[in-house]
Structure 1
Amino acid sequence: MAKRGFMGGAALSLAGLCAAGVLAGAGPAAAEIAGNRIKLGVLTDMSGFAADSTGTGSLVAAQLAAEDFAKELPGVTIEVVVGDHQNKPDLGSSIARQWLDQDHVNAILDVPFSSVALAVNEVARGSKAMMVASGPGTTELTGPKCSPNTVQWTYDTWALANGTARAVVGQGGKSWYFLTADYAFGHALERDAGAVVTSAGGTVLGNVRHPPNASDFSSFLLQAQASRAQIIGLANAVGDTINSVKQAVEFGVTGGDQQKLAALLMQLTDVNAVGLQAAQGLYLTEAFYWDLTDGTRAFADRFAARMKGRRPTGNQAGVYSGALHYLKAVKAAGTTDASVVAGAMRDLPIDDALFGKGVVRVDGRAVHDMHFFQVKTPAESKGEWDYYTHLKTIPAAEAFRPLDQGNCPLVKKS
């Protein structure tokens, strides 16, 4: 069992929930792993607006990865600790700094909220620890702010915008109006989706921006309705997306042959919070859905057994997949030193039951298939968490921003 870490106002080291894989018999790959111990730190939102899609579920996902890989590293203890960054960049970087300087954390996982991730990215840069980021969406992590120590796993704004906007335009939704959260993440979603819409032959009729964590969307939705755009693109997240969808139905903006909503970032827990009656018909792009394959269903059953029946989100599945790939790289490298492990993560192919096959590029982008879904009607759903109809798979080669377009300093210019 892992020892309890510090619990000062923000950081919470849940020792009772930690996964410690202790193995018998030392193997050659473990010879250079300091103290025969690997420590994974899940830096996440345990209590705020992203807690449903990350939070405790991300911790459980990391535990499952540690347990699953335990037999591969004989003689090594894999410990999982957690910190609550409360969606504050200064707090996130403070926890990360203590983890790296004092607590000997080898890899920082999850890190939802882009501003927090960018701050932690700088703390990890040049250290002996990796950051494997499942939670943030900013493309800066694989663009101008790319770092040899950082891998971005699950999604980013380019992939979400490219997947949803291109597919919706292809289905005839050619005129768009954006309802956008007025901060960097929302602006990036709108920018990336708008570029895809116009390149695919569609038209952007305008936008309206709302403050983060808004409660009343009536005026914003009425402006979107007045545009007469076929598609209202929701360039926001979690609570803002949930409230946008609910109020769009309440105000009669959507339904029947009226305007349709395209959620540029929506996860399973968001659909659950909205309810199928309001969310039905929504288009969205995800990296993972629990009911896609036998492998995803098996993982979801194990996850649900520890999460009171809840099914994993894409972010939580990304924590598992990213942690597993990190541990494979540590085994291959024979060390936890990020300067070596980072290369091993890029050399080893991604291959697991949740995300399938893929690669980690030199810019730190984990490249894998993405999936385009439509939310089911209540009549189509067979029960709780049965929310998506799979419309198409977006191949890995098409799903993410091309390597030469991100302006990452690690990418050599030809």
Structure 2
Amino acid sequence: MTCRTLAAAALSAAFLAVAPASAQFADGGIKIGVLTDMSGVYSDLAGKGSVTAAQLAVEDFGREINGRKVELIFADHQNKADIASSIARRWFDTEGVDAIFDTNSSVAGLAVREVARAKGKIDINSGAGSMALTNASCSPTGAHWTWDTYSLAAGTASALADDPKNTWFFITADYTFGHDLEAQVTRVVKAKGGKVLGSVKHPFPNPDFSSHLLQAQGSGAKIIGMANAGADTINTIKQAGEFGILQGGQMLGGLNIFLTDIYSVGLPAAQGMVLTTGFYWDMDEQTRAFARRYGERMDGRMPTMVQAGDYSAVLHFLRAAEAAGTDDGVQVMAKMRELPIQDGFARNAKLREDGRMVHDMYLAQVKTPSESKGPWDFYKILKTIPGDQAFQPLSESTCALVKR
């Protein structure tokens, strides 16, 4: 586990804003924690990049709160619920952390959610996909920022299921996120007249997909839906190539693909794959400006949607804490719902009472090697999915905070 304190760089005194005279901050200022996967299967799509994105947000906020600089610390939850909850408890109880960000695994995210809820502290999840975060486990101090399994089904699965003759077989990570993703995609496939021929669960994480791919191949399904993420998805794609899956006429359904996955497998293996994302670095000048600054600190790498979402979440939290004049979790979260969300990540965005941050998502296709103009030039944006179509409507929510 790695953990160190980073101080935010302040702008010149002319740009500093003084907090309201009535400001109430328990420890005098604000301290945020990025709890992420620094060493495991999700470390590329989050990890160090999520810490860097959060640091950029602190710097862009550029103002002291209550006369003190914003502090940022980080740690590795190792994708384990007990480690995640232990760190969260220590951060809240003894280290003065006001809000936790990222928690890029449903196992870790749900564990942190319970600790934060009990202590009235804020947790903002950018990396996990489980629908439980805005349904059964919703919280008055919790938010789900970047994506979820519903939004992936609304994009990728909906596009691939347009042909009702398509049949599906799932290779699914055997934990909450994988089960959620398979269920959401199955819902869309069946609604469009398609059929699911079966599924196979794999341990998390998993280095060997040979037996799972053989079952998928034997099913005869046209689309093999990969209901996993990170290194598990990368291994699935690479090993599918070894088994000749594509040459045999089957298609890989990239249900949860990140920019770093394409970088790892390469365009020749990933070309033509359709995916859903909440952010693409080369979409417009605003996204490119953020990506350039990020890349300068990350050896030229471009941010994933998780990392860009962390930037957005941290920046909005800091603006809300300053406006509220307090670090009280309930009051700050109320202010976060009240203030407009507008930054390099969020378009047409709002934070709902169930904790879902609603924003536009994008259906993209991986370029061919000949279409790519340089490093990290991987996607063609096919269409924008408006936020009210990308995310579960409140009418379907089981969150106890939603007014009926």
| Pairwise TM-score range, normalised by the shorter structure | over 0.9
Structural mapping, 1:141-160, within 5 Å: 141-160=133-152
In 2, the alpha carbon distance for the partners of 1:125 and 1:204 equals: 37
Structural mapping, 1:291-302, within 5 Å: 291-302=282-293
Quote the residue 1:326 is aligned against.
Answer: 317
In 1, the alpha carbon distance for the partners of 2:89 and 2:214 equals: 46
- Percent identity, aligned pairs only, is 52
Quote the residue 1:5 is aligned against.
Answer: none
- Say if 2:193 is the partner of 1:204: no
Quote the residue 2:4 is aligned against.
Answer: 14
Query: What CA deviation, in whole Å up to 9, does each residue of 1:48-93 have, x standing for no partner?
Result: 1111111111111111101111148583411111111111111111
SS where residue 352 of structure 1 aligns?
Answer: coil
SS where residue 125 of structure 1 aligns?
Answer: helix
The counterpart of 1:182, out of the listed 159, 164, 174, is 174
SS where residue 29 of structure 1 aligns?
Answer: coil
Structural mapping, 1:115-194, within 5 Å: 115-170=107-162, 174-194=166-186
2:113–2:142 contact (8 Å) kept in structure 1: yes
Quote the residue 1:345 is aligned against.
Answer: 336
Moved more, 348-357 or 108-117: 348-357
In structure 1, list runs of 5 or more residues that go unmatched. Answer: 1-9
Query: What CA deviation, in whole Å up to 9, does each residue of 1:332-372 have, x standing for no partner?
Result: 21111111111111112221122222110000000001111
The counterpart of 2:308, out of the listed 301, 313, 317, is 317
Instruction: Quote the offset at 1:162 in angstroms.
Output: 2.0
2:41–2:232 contact (8 Å) kept in structure 1: no
- AA aligned opposite 1:108: I
Aligned Cα root-mean-square deviation (Å): 1.9
Quote the residue 1:4 is aligned against.
Answer: none
Quote the residue 1:287 is aligned against.
Answer: 278
Quote the residue 2:88 is aligned against.
Answer: 96
Q: What count of residue pairs does the alignment treat as equivalent?
A: 401
Quote the residue 1:6 is aligned against.
Answer: none
In 1, the alpha carbon distance for the partners of 2:120 and 2:59 equals: 23
Instruction: Quote the offset at 1:99 in angstroms.
Output: 0.9
SS where residue 342 of structure 2 aligns?
Answer: strand
The counterpart of 1:390, out of the listed 377, 381, 387, is 381
Distance 1:401 1:173, change over 3 A: farther
SS where residue 373 of structure 2 aligns?
Answer: coil
Distance 1:281 1:173, change over 3 A: farther
In 1, the alpha carbon distance for the partners of 2:300 and 2:19 equals: 40
1:45–1:85 contact (8 Å) kept in structure 2: yes
In 2, the alpha carbon distance for the partners of 1:366 and 1:347 equals: 12
2:28–2:66 contact (8 Å) kept in structure 1: no
Quote the residue 2:36 is aligned against.
Answer: 44
Q: TM-score, normalised by structure 2?
A: 0.94
In 2, the alpha carbon distance for the partners of 1:166 and 1:81 equals: 39
In 1, the alpha carbon distance for the partners of 2:369 and 2:64 equals: 44
In 1, the alpha carbon distance for the partners of 2:387 and 2:7 equals: 33
Quote the residue 1:3 is aligned against.
Answer: none
In 2, the alpha carbon distance for the partners of 1:145 and 1:353 equals: 29
SS where residue 253 of structure 2 aligns?
Answer: strand
SS where residue 180 of structure 1 aligns?
Answer: strand
Quote the residue 1:57 is aligned against.
Answer: 49
Instruction: Quote the offset at 1:238 in angstroms.
Output: 1.2
Instruction: Quote the offset at 1:157 in angstroms.
Output: 1.1
In 2, the alpha carbon distance for the partners of 1:48 and 1:30 equals: 45
Distance 1:42 1:272, change over 3 A: same
Quote the residue 2:236 is aligned against.
Answer: 244
In 2, the alpha carbon distance for the partners of 1:281 and 1:364 equals: 34
Instruction: Quote the offset at 1:129 in angstroms.
Output: 2.4
Instruction: Quote the offset at 1:175 in angstroms.
Output: 1.9
1:20–1:80 contact (8 Å) kept in structure 2: no
Quote the residue 1:83 is aligned against.
Answer: 75
- Say if 2:102 is the partner of 1:110: yes
Instruction: Quote the offset at 1:20 in angstroms.
Output: 4.6
- AA aligned opposite 2:211: S
